[in-house]
Amino acid sequence: MQYVKSRMLDRELKKGSAELLILSLVEDQPRHGYDLSKLIETRSDGVLKFRVASLYPLLYRLEKRGWIHGRWIEKAGQRRRRYYRLTPAGARVLASQRSTWKEFAAAINRIAGVEHA
């Protein structure tokens, strides 16, 4: 029984964390999907890795919510790529998600006694 509950929380967490990761990565500059997936993988030292089939639908959802904005950009000699940048609404969500995560992590920490990295 407990299994279901923890799985659900886990799933929501992952989904929420994915949003947070993408919003943070496009905060300073526009990026395309492949770029985002590589950055997540390298910056987390390979701990976090996005599947291609979940990354792009997620980007689509975030854009539909108005948190990021995508634009096709063609560079000479390359195929066109879709670059995403953070919208003001996305910036607000990012700020709140950051504080939520901070609270959440702090709470976990208080309970579980995990040290900050």
Partner 1 sequence: MPEWPRRIGEEMRQHLDDEYDALRAAGRSHEDAMAALEDDVASATPPAPRPVEEIRADLRYAIRSLRKHPAFTAVVLLTLGLGIGANAAIFSVVNAVLLRPLPYHDADRLVLIWGDLHRPGVNEIPTSAGEFADYRDRSHAFEHIAAYDTLGFNLTGSGDPERLEGAIVSASLFPLLGASAQIGRTFVNAEEQPGREQVVVLSHALWSRRFNADPAIVGQIVALDGRPVQVVGVMPASFHYPDAGVEIWKPMLLDADALSDDNRGSHGYTALARLKPGVTLAQAQADLASVTATFKAEHPGNYRSGFSARLRPLQEEIVGETARPLLILLGAVAVVLLIACANVSNLLLARAASRRREIALRTALGAGRGRLVRQLLTESVLVAIVGGAIGLVLASWGVDLLIAAAPDTIPRLGEVGVDRRVILFTAVVSLGTGLLFGIVPALRASATPPGDTLKDGGRSGATHGRAGRLLVIAEVALSLVLLVGAGLLVHSFARVQRVEPGFDATDLLTLRLSLPESRYTTFQKGEAFFDGLFTALRARPDVRAVAAANALPFSGVGGSRTFHIEGREPKRPEDQAEEQIRIVTGGYFETMRTPVAEGREFTDRDNSSAPRVAVVNEALARKHWPNESPIGKRVAFTRDEPQWYEIVGIVRNIKHAGLDGADRPELYVPYKQPLFASWTVRPMYIVVRAAADPLATAATVRHELARLDRDQPISDLRTMDARIGRSLAGRRFNMVLLAVFASLALTLAGIGIYGIAAYSVTERTHEIGVRLALGAQRRDVMVMIVRQGMTMTVIGAAIGIASALLLTRVMSSLLFGVSAADPVTFAAIPALLGAVAFVACYVPARRATRVDPLVALRTE
Phi first, then psi, for residue 16 (nearest 5°) are -65, -40
Nearest distance from C-beta of residue 15 to partner 1, angstroms: 3
Using the rule CB under 8 A, give the single segment among 3-11, 23-31, 108-116 that binds partner 1. Answer: 3-11
Distances from the Cα of 104 to the Cα of 12, 13, 45, 58, 97, angstroms:
13, 11, 23, 23, 10
- Region of 10-18, 21-29, 108-116 interacting with partner 1 (CB under 8 A): 10-18
Residue 108 touches partner 1, criterion: CB under 8 A: no
Among 92, 102, 105, 106, binds partner 1 (CB under 8 A): 92
Interface stretch with partner 1, choices 12-20, 21-29, 108-116 (CB under 8 A) = 12-20
Q: How far is residue 83 from each of residues 22, 30, 42, measured CA to CA in Å?
A: 12, 6, 19
Choosing from 23, 59, 62, 86, the residue that interacts with partner 1 (CB under 8 A) is: 59
Q: At which residue do the structure tokens 């990021």 appear? A: 68
50 Ramachandran zone, left/alpha/beta (phi>0; psi -120 to 50): beta
Q: Which is nearer to partner 1, 7 or 43 (CB)?
A: 7
